Amino acid sequence: MAESKVRKAAAPKPAAKKAAVKPKKPESQLAMVRRARRINRELAELYPYAHPELDFDNPFQLLVATVLSAQTTDLRVNQTTPALFAKYPTPEDMAAAVPEELEELIRPTGFFRNKAKSLLGLSTALRDEFGGEVPGRLEDLVTLPGVGRKTANVVLGNAFGVPGITVDTHFGRLARRFGWTAEEDPVKVEAAVAAIFPTSEWTMLSHRVVFHGRRVCHAQKPACGACPVAGLCPSYGVGVTDPEKAAGLLKYELAGKPGQRLRPPADFPGEAAARADAVAHDGRVADLATADGEGDAA
Q: Catalytic site residues?
A: 150, 168
The CA angle 265-103-119, to the nearest 5 degrees, is 65
d(CA 172, CA 123): 29
224 is in an annotated binding site: yes
The whole-angstrom separation of Cα 161 and Cα 159 is 6
Nearest CA to 293 among 28, 74, 84, 135?
A: 74
> Are residues 261 and 183 in contact, defined by beta-carbon separation less than 8 angstroms?
no
The C-alpha atoms of residue 201 and residue 191 are separated, in whole angstroms, by 14
Using CA atoms, how far apart are residues 120 and 188, in angstroms rounded to an integer?
30
**CA 97 to CA 127: how far, in whole Å?**
13
| 85 is annotated as contributing to ligand binding | no
Please check whether residue 74 is in contact with residue 234, taking contact to mean a CB–CB distance below 8 angstroms. no
Cβ contact 173:217 at 8 Å: yes
91 annotated as belonging to a binding site for a ligand: no
Contact call for residues 256 and 268 (beta carbons, < 8 A): no
The C-alpha angle with vertex 222 and arms to 238 and 208, in degrees rounded to 5, equals 120
Q: Is 285 helix (H, G, I), strand (E, B) or coil?
A: strand
Pair 150, 186: CB distance under 8 Å: yes
233 is in an annotated binding site: yes
DSSP symbols for 153-221 = HHHHHHHS--------HHHHHHHHHTTS----SHHHHHHHHHTTS-GGGHHHHHHHHHHHHHHTS-SSS
Annotated binding site: 217, 224, 227, 233
Annotated binding site for [4Fe-4S] cluster: 217, 224, 227, 233
